[in-house]
């Protein structure tokens, strides 16, 4: 039996890091499918996400300013923290903040779409970029961005197939999300992708 070649350590670490990010797809799925009896309304979702953001920020502040907690946190997640997160908020905190803003600013189908594009687009772009990236622009790989685009288009197809959004709106959101992920916009990708794709879809949106 032929064994597959071992994964490059950097690729394996990126997959581990982004596995947490990709698990957030449960959030937009729950928004559009209503799996849970609570939360249901916009106010309930806002409350839940606001609490989650406050808890995440509190943990980040403890990690940044409390030596013992930083050591404890690093023991479990040290290899998964990016260099810029060593002195700032974690990407998961920005993602929760982006979800809170999306729920407050956009109709539910658009909020779910924008969060899903952020989760899948940014997550897969990072993994594909680390594994196959070679052609680089703006400090990012074209291969990674194409992988992110595929993830966004898959999410768009799901939203269209389940009657959440019309195809032109969903595809527009996917394309804008992928463009924002690729361009060197001075804003965390979790916030940038969610807000830019959400506003682009909101401009086109009519309930279906």
Domain boundaries, the chain: 9-204
* Residue 124 to residue 144: CA distance in whole angstroms: 7
At 78, the pLDDT band (50, 70, 90 cuts) reads low
At 171, the pLDDT band (50, 70, 90 cuts) reads very high
Q: What are residue 141's DSSP bridge partners?
A: 136
Give the pLDDT score at 88.
Answer: 78
Q: Say what the pTM is.
A: 0.90
Q: Which two tokens stand for residue 105?
A: 């600013």
At 206, the pLDDT band (50, 70, 90 cuts) reads low
Q: Which two tokens stand for residue 179?
A: 């463009």
| 146: DSSP letter | H
* Residue 89 to residue 86: CA distance in whole angstroms: 8
Please report, for residues 1, 102, 172, 207, the alpha-carbon distance to residue 20 in angstroms, rounded to integers and kept in the order given.
Answer: 32, 20, 26, 32
């Amino acid at each position: 039996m032929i064994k597959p070649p071992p994964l490059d350590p950097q690729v394996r670490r990126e997959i581990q890091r982004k596995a947490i990010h990709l698990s957030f797809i449960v959030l937009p799925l729950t928004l559009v499918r209503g799996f849970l009896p609570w939360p249901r309304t916009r106010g309930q979702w806002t409350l839940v996400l606001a609490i989650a953001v406050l808890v995440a920020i509190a943990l980040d502040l403890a990690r940044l300013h409390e030596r013992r907690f930083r050591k404890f946190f690093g023991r479990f997640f040290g290899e998964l923290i990016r260099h810029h997160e060593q002195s700032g908020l974690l990407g998961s905190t920005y993602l929760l903040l982006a979800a809170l803003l999306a729920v407050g600013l956009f109709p539910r189908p658009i909020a779910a779409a924008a969060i899903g594009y952020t989760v899948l687009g940014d997550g897969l772009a990072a993994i594909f970029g680390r594994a196959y990236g070679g052609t680089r622009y703006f400090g990012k790989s074209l291969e990674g961005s194409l992988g992110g685009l595929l993830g966004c288009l898959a999410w768009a197809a799901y939203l269209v197939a389940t009657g959440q959004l019309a195809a032109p709106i969903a595809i527009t959101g996917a394309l804008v999300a992928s463009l924002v992920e690729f361009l060197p916009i001075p804003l965390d990708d979790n916030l940038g992708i969610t807000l830019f794709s959400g506003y682009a879809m909101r401009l086109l949106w009519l309930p279906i």
